[in-house]
Structure 1
């Protein structure tokens, strides 16, 4: 019987492309189920990294105590963040009502630039809009957010509770030690890449938020704490977050102040802050840790934003790092990982995660078929 013909490279590439399209369609159709799960996994990775940092700084505490302390501190931080947003958001809405005359004047100036003789007022604009429909959509959005938050917490609890069985599952899935080492190395690459991204974005986001807060306080902008907090949260979204941090406070400054100069000065200062942190500090901190092409960052932002909305934008970079690591494990899909990487070497993230920047971990030899051995834990 003649041997089957070897599978051609074109067939393999075509199968990979079809698989990516099918996976994208499945992610879009199941977004209602998968987005809370993805956020829960994201939070679990963050809490696990936080626990390991606490364990390294406080060697006297046990692993379970460090995990419990990380969960408590994370809940406290998220609770404080929610209170800050709720308190400042109500003050912000009240000030917008007080600035209605100034806003009418600003609309008249802008309309005059375009030759509009009778400019509309804020009341006219609200009258033309279907406010009840927008309020209904907003209420549905809040209801959906509350429902998603509930499911995220449930998923997070189960993920944390199932951590103890992860090693046994790996042993069951990969009985040979060499395969197990390779799977664990891939998991560490994903985990370390996400944690490194979180650390860099958090530190640089704090730098931008604090510097922006000082600039806003210096010119007397109202709700400087609220805007600084918004800039910090937006820093986790590539490209769009920086645009929000640069444009939103100056637009409000146009409403608050009688002249354009405070808004112009604030716009220039915020642009300078974003430029220094984004082009000098961020590359030095990040280095080649993520090893992702900048064009891929933009494309992943658009792709995940189209599939999962704001959640996808927030998780676009970690999800793409995970995809690059997984695709690099197989010969048929490695070319996709090469395209996603910055230098054509998707294994670089693996080498950093393994602890040796030059030499990847060497797998242990397989056991002989004639001598069966029990898998080591």
Structure 2
């Protein structure tokens, strides 16, 4: 006698309870799962980079593409880190020459708020007593290095063992149709992550280029350093906007004796960041990822609470993965429909330009595929 089917109310209640339990588990295991999630994200990025190199560079085969992509990625990240660190050191030394102007700026601000004897920069530093925070900074740096080491270890094992996943897929899904659906779901997740990287890179370049032009026009020192820093920070939602809008105008107040440079920078950077962040980026993400812009905003808030800064960085790829997985099951498909932008979570709206379809995999919806033995 077949078991009675669960009513929709009970089934949806179970889904909601499972989502709450899953979120709590992700929060409790964040120290273990965040390095693994970052490593998987980097592995997908390197895999996409390798396919681009294989398609664009003549003579680069499949076996050579992945090592070349790893080497180039490490060179790019290492070069960017060296440039930022080198310029940050010179920038910190340059701040010493700005001490008199900082004291003058503090005096002007103090006069506006009615303080008769304004403090100097030296007195403020002594009151803050930065030596109290050396322990916290050291622990934060130690945690960062430990997380980075785990990410690299996980990344190495993921890249080394990726060829075994094909045999695992055959063992997990002996039926050809089920295997095709699983591979198609994986391709949608992979393409979603790659398209997210593409959107963030394009919009980050737009913001950084416009910011560099504005800073160069007003004559702000270290304009290229600020532009690269803004581009790197643009991969982190919210934080990139704060860096791009707030810091250059603040240092314009320190560098210049007049206020119009800081006002111009604040207005231009605010306009550029708002236009790209509120108009260009949501439209590109919703069109390429098939995700509702409101869902992307809520996902940013959710993953930031669960995994902190790592969750904010990975919020969009994780939400795309969640939508694709939920769309595979009848009981949770309604959630995937709500997460999607056009109500069809079965596929991304645009294929990745460098996608190479796997042999024997159909990208049509399951209901339209012909049955094969």
TM above 0.5, yes or no, is yes
CA contact (8 A) 1:351 1:360 kept: no
Deviation at 1:348, TM superposition (A): 4.2
The CA deviation at 1:72 is: 0.9
User: Which residue does the alignment assign to 2:249?
Assistant: 250
Structure 1 unaligned segments of length 5 or more: list them: 368-377
Q: What is the aligned partner in structure 2 of residue 372 from structure 1? A: none
8 Å contact 1:55–1:61 — kept in the other structure?
yes
Between 1:47-56 and 1:324-333, the stretch displaced more is 324-333
The match for 1:371 is none
**Corresponding residue for residue 365 of structure 2:** 360
Once residues 162 and 140 of structure 1 are traced to their aligned partners in structure 2, the CA distance between those partners, rounded to angstroms, is: 33
Distance 1:345 1:101 in 2: 61
SS of equivalent to 1:349: coil
Q: What pairs up with 1:334-345 in 2 under 5 angstroms?
A: 334-345=333-344
Q: CA deviation at 1:328?
A: 1.4
Change (3 A) 1:279 1:23: closer
Give the Å deviation of 1:359. 5.2
Q: Deviations over 1:13-52 (max 9, x none)?
A: 1111111111111111111111111111111111100010
* Distance apart, 1:75 and its partner CA: 0.8
Comparing 58-67 and 182-191, the one that deviates more:
58-67
2:286–2:292: 8 Å Cα contact kept in structure 1?
A: no
TM-score by length of 1: 0.89
Q: Give 1:28-177 correspondences, 5 Å limit.
A: 28-177=27-176
Counterpart of 2:162 in 1: which secondary structure? Answer: helix
Whether contact under 8 Å (2:50, 2:69) holds in the other structure is yes
Which structure 2 residues correspond to residues 292-331 of structure 1 after superposition, within 5 A?
A: 292-331=291-330
Distance 1:18 1:283 in 2: 30
Quick check: 250-259 or 74-83, which moved more?
A: 250-259
Report deviation, 1:59: 4.7
Asked whether the equivalents of residues 236 and 312 of structure 2 are also in contact (C-alpha less than 8 Å), the reply is: yes
**Inter-partner Cα distance in structure 2 for 1:282 and 1:293:** 12
Partner of 2:17: 18
Shift of 1:79: 0.8
**Kept after mapping to 2: 8 A contact 1:47/1:71:** yes
Question: Could you tell me whether the CA contact under 8 Å between 2:287 and 2:349 is conserved in 1?
Answer: no
Q: Is the deviation greater in 333-342 or in 318-327?
A: 333-342
Indicate conservation of the 8 Å contact 1:236/1:314, yes or no: yes
SS at match of 1:222: coil
Equivalent in the alignment of 1:199 = 198
SS at match of 2:186: helix
The number of residues matched between the two structures is: 364
TM-superposed deviation, 1:287? 5.7
Partner SS, residue 163 of structure 2:
helix
Could you give the per-residue CA deviations for residues 206-249 of structure 1, whole angstroms, max 9, x where no partner exists?
Answer: 22212212221222212212211111012112343223212221
Q: Whole-Å Cα distance in 1 between the matches of residues 305 and 263 of structure 2?
A: 33
Q: Which residue of 2 aligns with 1:373?
A: none
The CA deviation at 1:96 is 2.3
- With normalisation by structure 2, the TM-score equals 0.90
How far apart are residue 180 of structure 1 and its match? 0.3
Further displaced range: 41-50 or 117-126: 117-126
Give the corresponding residue for 2:178: 179
Contact 2:287 2:350 in 1 (8 A): no
Query: Is the partner of 2:151 in helix, strand or coil?
Result: helix
Q: Which consecutive segments of 4 or more residues in structure 1 shift more than 6 A?
A: none
CA distance in 2, matches of 1:103, 1:351: 51
Contact 2:301 2:312 in 1 (8 A): yes
**CA contact 1:189–1:350 (8 Å) conserved in 2:** no
Contact 1:31–1:307 (CA under 8 A) maintained in structure 2: yes
Following superposition, the deviation at residue 139 of structure 1 comes to 1.4
Q: Is contact 1:185-1:350 (8 Å) kept?
A: no
Q: Following TM superposition, by how much is the alpha carbon of 1:93 offset from its aligned partner in structure 2, in angstroms?
A: 1.6
Displacement of 1:100: 2.2
Give secondary structure in 1 for the equivalent of 2:207: helix
Distance (Å, rounded) in 1 between the aligned partners of 2:176 and 2:11: 29
